[in-house]
A and B are shown apart, each in its own frame.
Chain A
Amino acid sequence: MALRLVFLGRLEDIAGCGDREVPLADSIDAVFDALEPELAAALRADRVKLAVNGVLLRDRDAPILRDGDELAFLPPVSGGAP
């Protein structure tokens, strides 16, 4: 029973990898609590959006997590081109 976490942009550097598997947890807070504190803080930031199985959540209103779900953490996108 596992969840797949995907870290986009600079979150990858904080996590030390682009994605990882973690044990299935009851809530998103329980997922955060099981991570390194620095990574958990970065993922909890207001500007980081969450997509579950490719669907962007409007807010973090307690998604129901199921075995095999993919949770992608999306920091603000970078413009930067001309």
Chain B
Amino acid sequence: MTVADVRLLTSPFDPADELAGFAASHPAAGGIVSFTGQVRCDAEAGGVEALELRHYDPLTLPGMGALAESVLGRWDLEGLLIVHRSGILFPGDPIVLVAAAARHRRDAFAATDFAMDHLKSESWFWKREKSGGSWRWIEPRSEDFEDIRRWQ
């Protein structure tokens, strides 16, 4: 039975190290698809100085675990990795890493895409951005709900 590796981190992580370890753990997989989300360095957006992710301990990690279980129930995977940051992040810092290892690539692509869409629109994280020295909460975007409807 495939067991997912799901972690909520409050300190920086290295996606390359995580992926190397994940690949080494799943030699039977013919392919690994991964997605890394990072804090934008976007001068046009007013130069975001920092991003803070808040979570709620009783719900956030259990919710990520439930998502991982639904991914494993839906696709035939050798392994699934979900790593998500909480806390204060700076431009260029990795926020999230999802990786799926499968015998066949289509399962790995679809599982990663599904996991990201659901992490974004359903997991218990609240974000705020710092720009011009002040913090501003980020409200949900309608695109996130449209992304998730693709899977229903």
Which chain A residues have a beta carbon within 8 Å of chain B's beta carbons?
6, 8-10, 13, 51, 53-54, 56, 70, 72, 74-82
Contact = CB atoms under 8 A, between A and B. Distances in A.
Interface stretch (B5-13, B104-112, B115-123): B115-123
Contacts of B37: 81-82
Given A9-B126, A13-B137, A79 B56 contact: no
B58 A78 contact: no
Contact of A81 (B54, B58, B96, B126): B96
Interface of B: 37-38, 40, 54, 56-59, 95-96, 120-127, 137-141, 143-144
Contact of A72 (B58, B95, B123): B58
Contacts of A54: 57-59
A53 B121 CA distance: 23
23 contacts: A8-B56, A9-B54, A9-B137, A10-B126, A10-B137, A53-B58, A54-B58, A54-B59, A70-B58, A72-B58, A74-B59, A76-B139, A77-B121, A77-B122, A78-B126, A78-B140, A79-B138, A80-B120, A80-B138, A80-B141, A81-B37, A81-B96, A81-B127
A23 to B, nearest CB: 23
SS class of chain B's interface: helix, strand, loop or mixed? mixed
A7 to B, nearest CB: 10
B143 to A, nearest CB: 7
SS class of chain A's interface: helix, strand, loop or mixed? loop
Nearest to A51: B59
B141 A79 contact: yes
B58 to A, nearest CB: 3
A64 to B, nearest CB: 19
B120 A81 contact: yes
